[in-house]
Amino acid sequence: MYKTQGLKNSRIEVADALRGIAVVGIILYHAVEHFNLGSPRDLSLSLPIDGAMFNILTLLLSGKMYGIFALLFGLSFFIMRDNQEQKGKDFSLRFAWRMVLLFGFGILNLVFYNGDILTFYALMGLLLIPAGYLSMPALWAVTIFLLIQPVEIYGLISGWKPDISPMMKYYMEMGQANAEGTFLESASASLRCGFFASWYWFVMKGRITQTIGLFFLGLLFGRLRLFYKEGNHLKIWRIVCVVSTVAVAAGVIFGAAGNGDVNFGKLDSLLHPLFNLAILLFIVSGVVLLWYAFAGFRKSLSHICFFGRMSLSNYLFSSVLGCAVFYGWGLGMYKVLGTTWSLLVGIAIVVVQIILLYQWSKKHQRGPLETLWRKLTWIGA
C-alpha cells in the first residue's frame, strides 16, 4: 500500500499552463465542430482552406486536449489526497463527495452542450480512490494495461465488437432539437440523450480505458513529482519527448490517409487511441521542457496559467457562449460559418473569457465555479 512521502506539494505552475492550453484547445475544437451540431453542406461563409484547417485541428486537438485534462485530473487527485494524508486524514469520502458535485456540474453543462465530459470524469474518477492505495508497481501495471487499449485488443483477437447502434438515434434527436428547437427543447433533448450518446462515442473511440489510464498516469506523475524541477526529472521528460516524437512520426507515416485524420485501417480502433496518446505526451513533455528551459516561454504562458486554474468555469462558460452562437435557439451560426470562420469565433470566445476572468482573478484566487466547488467539497470540515 502506498504511503505519503511527506513532501510539500507546492503550486505547479506548468500544470496550470498545461490545463490552460487544454481548455483553450477544447473550446477551439468545439467551435469548429459547432458544439457537436455539425453543419449543412452549403454554408454562407466558407473558405477553400476549410478542409485543410479541419484536418490540422483534428490532428492536433481532437482527443489530445481532453487527454491532457484527464492526466492533470489524476495529478490534482494525488495532490489533494497527499495533502490530507500528511495531516493524518483519509480523503476518500471527501473525494467521492467532490465527484458527486462534479457530476452535478456536468448535468448543468448538459443543459447547454450535449457533449459534456464532466459526468464521465466524475463517474470514472471514483476509481482513483482505490487506485490511491495501490503500491507503485501495482499502479504502473494497471495503468499500462489500461493504456494499451485492452478492449480493442480483445476485439481484434476475438472478432467481438461493441453494439453502438443506438448512438446515431441519440445524435439525430439532439441534432434536430439543437438546430431547430427552442432553448427548452434543446436542453431537454441534451439532458435525455447527451450522456448516452457520449457513452457510445466513448466506447467507439476507446476512450473509457484510456481516460481511466490517464487518470492513473497523472496519479503516478504526482507520486514521482515529475512536474517539479527535481533530480533527473527533466532527463525523464526528454526521453518521453523523444519516444513520443518517434511514435507520432511513425503513426503519421503508417496511417496518414489524407482524409482529415490519421487512419490505420482495420487496426484503427487500437492504434488511433495510442496515436492520440503519443501526441498528448509529446505536447506535455514539450511544454514542460520549454517551461523550465526558457524564461521567455514561461512569461509568454503566464497569462494562460490563471485560465487553467479556472478550467471548470471556462469549460462551462464556453458551452453557454458557444451554443448561444451556433445553436438554432441562439444565433444559428452552424448553418453559416465554415471551419475557418468558426475557429475565429472560438478564438473570440477564449478572448472574452480571458478578459472577464482576468478581472475576476484580481480579487479571487479561484474561478467562480472553482470557488463554489471547493466550498461545497469541504462543507462541514
pLDDT in tens, 94-138: 999 999 999 999 999 999 999 999 999 999 999 999 999 999 999
- Its pTM stands at 0.94
Question: What is the C-alpha to C-alpha distance for residues 88 and 318, in angstroms, rounded to an integer?
Answer: 39
Average pLDDT, the chain: 93
Task: Answer yes or no: is pLDDT of 193 > 80.
Answer: yes
Q: Would you say 69 and 124 are in contact if contact means Cβ atoms under 8 Å apart?
A: no
Tens digits of per-residue pLDDT, 218-244?
999 999 999 999 999 999 999 999 999
Q: Are 7 and 225 in contact (CB under 8 A)?
A: yes
Residues in the chain: 381
> Residue 42, CB half-sphere, CA atoms under 13 Å: how many?
0
pLDDT computed for residue 3 by the predictor: 85
Q: Are 106 and 184 in contact (CB under 8 A)?
A: no
Query: Interhelix angle for 183-205 vs 207-224, to 10°?
Result: 80
- pLDDT category at 256 given cuts 50, 70, 90 is low
The answer on pLDDT for 55 being more than 80 is: yes
Residue type, 61: L
286-339 pLDDT tens trace: 999 999 999 999 999 988 888 899 999 999 999 999 999 999 999 999 999 999
pLDDT tens sequence across 209-219: 999 999 999 99
Of 43 and 312, the structure prediction assigns the larger pLDDT to 312
Question: Is residue 346 predicted with pLDDT exceeding 80?
Answer: yes
Backbone angles phi, psi at 45, to 5 degrees: -120, 95
* pLDDT class of 259 with cuts at 50, 70, 90: very low
Backbone dihedral region of 337: left (phi > 0), alpha (psi from -120 to 50 degrees) or beta? beta
Q: What angle do CA 6, 10, 16 make, to 5 degrees?
A: 135
Answer for the pair 341, 331: CB distance below 8 angstroms, yes or no.
Answer: no
pLDDT at 365 over 80: yes
Grid look-up 481548455 returns 23
Which of the four pLDDT bands, split at 50, 70 and 90, describes residue 260? very low
Question: Cell 521528460 sits at which residue?
Answer: 237
